[in-house]
Amino acid sequence: MLELSDVHTFYGNIEALKGISITVEEGEIVTLIGSNGAGKSTTLRSISGLTPPREGSISFEGNEIGDTPPQEIVALGISQSPEGRKCFQRMTVRENLELGSYLRRDSKVGEDLRRVFDLFPRLEEREGQKAGTMSGGEQQMLAIGRALMASPRLLLLDEPSMGIAPILVERIYETIAEINRQGTTILLVEQNANFALAVSHRGYVLETGHVALSDEASALRDNPDVQKAYLGA
């Protein structure tokens, strides 16, 4: 479904991705783990068109998208829940969710709103509440729900556990697994490698802009080097 081949992405003269190559098959959850500055978020930004690669290829369902504007990438079927959630603080929960569907012209927006409320009942309870008055965990649910309102075939999740209570992290990861079971392919960036690898099929370890290791998620969890560096073993 998604293939990055020898992708080099820069911020000015600083090379953040130094030849990243990864694949995501339809129906998978694939996770990218690594320390701060490894290039995880930049990988998602490159896919989304927010920081286009200077070299290399990004293809989605067989079509090159490396030079495609972000809004067109959303229309193709890729949406992202960004690091830090980026909810519109002065807008209500429902208004945030409706913005997620702003490119759609089909008749199933209402069905997808119902799906988001089924996945995250707390959002329905707070439908008329301003996003800025909610907890970090609730805003994370909102950010994921807003991304789902674009009806993506590939969902990009950037640090969904960052800055939220442990009990809500478990709930969010249960929901991520359910979203995948319902048919959405997921590429996940996460520093909390234990949770990420527990729900993923495969994973990549990034180090300073390179892919240092790739394997089945279960094999990565059992890898002594990965345990020492990322799993707190």
Question: pLDDT by residue (tens digit) across 42-86?
Answer: 999 999 999 999 999 999 999 999 999 999 999 999 999 998 789
Task: State pTM to two decimals.
Answer: 0.93
Side-by-side strand order, sheet with 202-207 = 78-81, 154-158, 185-189, 29-33, 202-207, 210-216
Instruction: Tell me which DSSP letter residue 164 carries.
Output: S
C-alpha 166/C-alpha 157 separation (Å) is 18
Give me the average pLDDT of each 10-residue run along the chain (233 residues).
98 96 98 93 97 97 96 96 89 95 90 96 95 92 96 96 86 94 96 91 96 96 89 65
C-alpha triplet 158, 136, 132: angle, nearest 5°: 110
Class of domain 2-86+153-230: alpha beta
Report pLDDT for 229.
84
Write down how long the chain is: 233
For residue 201, give both structure tokens.
Answer: 């099929």
Q: Return d(Cα 123, Cα 138) in angstroms, integer.
A: 7
Q: Which two tokens stand for residue 21?
A: 């190559």
* HSE, side-chain direction, 13 A CA sphere, residue 188: 32
Q: Where are the domains of the chain?
A: 2-86+153-230
- Asked if 188 contacts 40 with a C-beta cutoff of 8 angstroms, the reply is no
- pLDDT of 118 reads 96
